[in-house]
Structures are given as structure tokens and as C-alpha cells.
Structure 1
Amino acid sequence: MDSDKLNIHLISDATGDTLNSLGRAAVAQFDEALVTYHRWSLIRSRLQLHRVLEGIQAEPGPVLCSLVDQALRHELDSACARMGVPLLHVLDPVLEMLQAQFGAPARHKPGRQYVLDADYFRRIDAMHYVISHDDGQANRGISDADVVLVGVSRSSKTPTCFYLANRGIKALNVPLVPGIEPPEALMNDPPCPVIGLTIDPKSLIDIRRHRLQLIGGGAEAGFARADKSDYVDYEAVEKELLWARRLCNARGWPTIDVTRRSIEETSATVLKLMDNWHAKREKPPAADDAG
């Protein structure tokens, strides 16, 4: 088997999200690696496992596994050994460490991280909030927001809000349009952090041109422009971004340059800035020197 062409089998008794993230993160460290992922999720019976083993035999390659059922793990271990494919149980080091810390054995019950608890419903509620408040809709709901993202059109506000919602964060996004004042609730002591997203003009123009192609060259959703050419004109876009940055600076809103950031990286920075905002709010007032 060519060393830079791999079949990687991801076997999980739940959704497989952990293995997907781990696999992508590891493979990204190898330049020009060609990988085909075979994702086997919700594997909780011997019949399901046998289908997985048939797939591994047909297209052999390393196996990353997060099964917790001991009987299925034993059968998988034996089969992989017979086929000569490497197998790694990715949860084992973490479980062993935590067992030592807790002084109790793990339950080894699949899917325990996916329960309909308060955290689950908080994420659902946050998702509904983002949908109903996308692109400046229902600005009266700002008082319920955990964070407000502002920025010019196509600066990744919406996808970032949805990613944050999956973390249980109610994120409202407000488009910044020259000549249109942001909501008054944001201008004077907003009830939550306000964070600006900015981007390189050339990258923004590329995104906007692609968007216009998708919608047939019509006006951008959310607001109309008298001169649509300004939407993708470099000089006009540069002025638009400069105006937005100056507005954020004037209001004391921190900004994030999303040009070379993934949605995940942008969201992680948003969460850090939210923590900073709350830390400043919770900081006790300085003692009166005169006293």
C-alpha cells in the first residue's frame, strides 16, 4: 500500500464526531496525504460490526475506534490482528487517566454523551434564536443575546453564529451598512459583548462574486444597493471595510480578521473575547484611595 494513500476506518458507537475531528487534525499534519475516510457510526451490535469488518477487508487501512462495548472491542481486536491492519482505541488513554483520578471504573455504555439534558435543550434554543435573529432580524431580541457579531455583508457572521449556537451560545448578527446606523441597543452600554468581523478586501470580493453568481446577480439579501457594482468594486469595498473598522474602534468593539481563519478558529476567538468582556464586568471596582 502506497504510504501516502490511505484508507482510514473510523468506527464509533455514537455519531463519530470525535473520530472525524481527530482524524482530520492528525492527517492535516502530513503534506499531500491522500486519505479516504470510511465512517462507521452507531455500531452497537455484532451484525453491524461484521459489516464493518467486511468493509475493512475490502479496503484495508488503519482503524481508529471509539467503541466502549467490551465484547465488540474484543471481536474487532481479533479481526484486525488477523487482517494485519493497525488499530487504535482512541478513548483508552483518557479513560484510564480518569479512572485513576475518580477511583472508579468507566461505565462503558455507548452514547452517554448524547442525552436530552438541560445542555442539549440550551443548544436547541440557541439554534432557534440564531435562525430567528439572522442578518439583523428581530433586533428587539438583542437583550436575550449572549453575543452580537457585526460586520459587512459576507464576512462570515451567519456561519459563525450557527457554530456558536451548537455550543449553546445565543449569537445575533447585525450587518454593518454605510449610511445605516446600527441598532440603538448596541450603541449605549450593550447588554452583551459586541464583536466585529473584518476581512481582506480581495477575499471579500471573491466571496461576494461567488454569492452573486449563486443568486443570479441580484441584490444581496437583507439590503438593496443603488449601485450593485459597488458590492464587488475594490475601492468601494475597501472604503466599506474601513468605515466598519472605524465604527468598531469608535464604539470599543474588538474585531477579528477572518481572512485566513476557519469558522472554528473564529468562534474560538469569539469565546475568548466573551470571557474577557465578562471578566471586566465582574471585576470589583478599585478601592477609593482617599478612603
Structure 2
Amino acid sequence: MDKLMVAYVLSDSIGETGEEVAQAAVSQFNSGEYEIRRFPYITEESQIIEILEEAKQENCIILFTIVIESLRKFLINKSKEYGIQSIDILEPILNAIQKVVGFEPKREPGLIRKLDENYFRKVAAVEFAVKYDDGKDTRGIKKADIVLIGVSRTSKTPLSMYLAHKNVKVANIPLLPEVKPPKELYEIDPRKIMGLTANPIKLNEIRQERLKALGLGNTANYASMERILREIEYAEELMKDLGCEVIDVSNKAVEETAGVIQELMRINHMKD
């Protein structure tokens, strides 16, 4: 026999899942030949009829991953009319999951691709946060969805990474009285800038713990109250000059501060 069969793979998305299942199945048969034909983005009953008219001339089966209920039922019924065996790849799995979770599937085509896209956006945002962390490259300021500014130990880096996992591209800039702020801060929409500040006593405690972790004495200028007050005063003056939002992170967990930032983004329509 020159050709054992033709497998028609129909999908209301791109059809990759159905094609891979078809290939896995036919590989178990080593007699004859086979052909797999994929028909993606099936959205109309007329498309199904056209495919069935072609398929009835072949020694074939139909495998499908159509989740739109009306099209799925139409294909099943019409396949029977045409005398063609059709297999719904997803339905047994969907039914089993529904019994476990207790609610119905969304029946929305292409969700797996959307999940993949979401994953890659997240990866890109994490890479962005690493690249533009701690003022490494001020060019990131204009590329970022959000720019975090603040003195040392105001959770800029943890916030950047947390927001990156929410698909937000974040650059963060440390503020020091001795260092002139990047000019790019004055060249972007101030709504994109989030100023982080904290209670000086809280900062003093955090910085002293940081020095201990590094094996340094707590008498270093970095943790002195005089130094901290000077830094906070400088930072808050700069934030006022920029006209940006200011968030006190003293008693906020990273998740809580991130929630505040995301809400401000939503209000300001800075990101879909």
C-alpha cells in the first residue's frame, strides 16, 4: 500500500498540539505511509464543510483541537454524516479536569500560546530589571515602564524584580547627594517615576544590619543618622522637583509597595 492514511488536523488556534499528537500516534504504525495536513484557525462552519469535502476522497481520519463548542459539535455531527472518523483530542482531558476542579473550561482558542507569550514577556522584564538595576545604564530610564528612585535600602532592587514577574519593565536609580541625577529623569513622563522614601530610624536600622552582614562596624558613615537625614532630604527635594509620586516604604512589604505602584500605573494608564 503506497499510502496508509491521511490525518487531517483541525484547530481553532494554530493546531500544533493536534499535529504533535497525530505524529506521535502514527509513528506507532510502521506499515505504509501517512501524511498529516494541518488546518489552523477554523472559525467558520463553511471551512469545516470544505475540508470534509476534500477528506471524503481520502483514506483518512480527523483529529481536532477545537474548543469553541458550536464548531466542535458541528464538526462531530458532520464527520458522522460524511462517514469520516473524527477524534476530539482535548475533550476527554477537559472533562477529567472539570471533574477535579469543579468548574467548566474557558473554551477560548489559543490560550496556550497566550501563556507562552506571557512567559517570554516575563523573562524579558526580568532581564531588563537586571540590566538596568542600580543605575548601571541610564539609557534604561527611557525604555522602562517604571523608574524607581530612592536612597540606598529603600527596596529598589527587590521591587524591580517583583514587578518584573508581573511583566513590568523597571529601571532603578540610586540617589546620592554627591551624584548628579541622570538627565533622562527630566526627559520622561513624571508619572513613570516612583520615588521611594523611608523613615530615617528604619533606614538606620536596616543599614546597620547591612553593615553587620558585610562584617563592617556600625560606625560607618553609611549608617549614621546625619548621613541618612541628608540623603533623605536631598532625595525628597529631587522627587518634588521631578513632580513624581512618592511612596513611603517604611512599613510596607515589597508586595504591598508593588501593589501601590501597579494601581498608580493603572490610574495613569501607563501600561495595558
TM-score interval, normalised by the smaller of the two chains? 0.5 to 0.7
Match of 2:245 in 1: 254
Residues in 2 aligned to 1:266 and 1:191: alpha-carbon distance in whole angstroms: 18
Residues in 1 aligned to 2:197 and 2:112: alpha-carbon distance in whole angstroms: 36
Alignment-mate amino acid for residue 244 of structure 1: A
Asked if the contact 1:145–1:192 (Cα under 8 Å) also holds between the matched residues in 2, the reply is no
Match of 2:118 in 1: 119
Structure 1 residues without counterparts, runs of 5 or longer: 1-67, 74-90, 96-104, 219-227, 282-291
Shift of residue 191, structure 1, vs aligned partner: 8.1
Match of 1:217 in 2: 216
Deviations 1:199-253, CA, capped at 9 Å, x for gaps: 11111111111111222229xxxxxxxxx73211112212211221111011101
Shift of residue 190, structure 1, vs aligned partner: 4.3
Shift of residue 272, structure 1, vs aligned partner: 1.9
The size of the alignment, in residue pairs, is: 173
Alignment-mate amino acid for residue 123 of structure 1: K
Shift in CA distance, 242/252, structure 1 to aligned 2, threshold 3 Å: same
Greater Cα radius of gyration, structure 1 or 2: 2
**Do residues 177 (structure 1) and 172 (structure 2) align?**
no
Deviations 1:149-196, CA, capped at 9 Å, x for gaps: 000001000000100000000011000001211111112344870110
Match of 1:161 in 2: 160
Shift in CA distance, 70/203, structure 1 to aligned 2, threshold 3 Å: same
Residues in 1 aligned to 2:267 and 2:241: alpha-carbon distance in whole angstroms: 19
Residues in 2 aligned to 1:164 and 1:128: alpha-carbon distance in whole angstroms: 12
Shift of residue 114, structure 1, vs aligned partner: 10
Alignment-mate amino acid for residue 220 of structure 2: S
Asked if the contact 2:162–2:258 (Cα under 8 Å) also holds between the matched residues in 1, the reply is yes
Residues in 2 aligned to 1:262 and 1:113: alpha-carbon distance in whole angstroms: 33
Residues in 2 aligned to 1:241 and 1:197: alpha-carbon distance in whole angstroms: 10
Match of 1:137 in 2: 136
Residues in 2 aligned to 1:134 and 1:232: alpha-carbon distance in whole angstroms: 22
Asked if the contact 1:146–1:192 (Cα under 8 Å) also holds between the matched residues in 2, the reply is no
State the SS of the aligned residue for 1:274: helix
Shift of residue 113, structure 1, vs aligned partner: 8.0
Residues in 1 aligned to 2:209 and 2:113: alpha-carbon distance in whole angstroms: 37
Asked if the contact 2:142–2:188 (Cα under 8 Å) also holds between the matched residues in 1, the reply is no
Alignment-mate amino acid for residue 266 of structure 2: D
Shift of residue 115, structure 1, vs aligned partner: 7.1
Alignment-mate amino acid for residue 239 of structure 2: C
Asked if the contact 2:146–2:171 (Cα under 8 Å) also holds between the matched residues in 1, the reply is yes
Shift in CA distance, 122/212, structure 1 to aligned 2, threshold 3 Å: same
Match of 2:268 in 1: 277
Asked if the contact 1:164–1:171 (Cα under 8 Å) also holds between the matched residues in 2, the reply is yes
Which of 258, 263, 267 does residue 267 from structure 1 map onto?
Answer: 258
Provide the alpha-carbon RMSD of the alignment. 2.9
Match of 2:196 in 1: 197
Residues in 2 aligned to 1:257 and 1:167: alpha-carbon distance in whole angstroms: 21
State the SS of the aligned residue for 2:220: helix
Alignment-mate amino acid for residue 214 of structure 1: A
Residues in 1 aligned to 2:185 and 2:132: alpha-carbon distance in whole angstroms: 15
Residues in 1 aligned to 2:136 and 2:191: alpha-carbon distance in whole angstroms: 17
- 1:29-108 pair list within 5 angstroms: 69=97, 73=100, 92=102, 95=103, 105-106=104-105
Deviations 1:78-107, CA, capped at 9 Å, x for gaps: xxxxxxxxxxxxx65xx4xxxxxxxxx327
**Do residues 232 (structure 1) and 223 (structure 2) align?**
yes
Match of 1:146 in 2: 145
Asked if the contact 1:143–1:191 (Cα under 8 Å) also holds between the matched residues in 2, the reply is no
Q: TM-score, normalised by structure 1?
A: 0.53
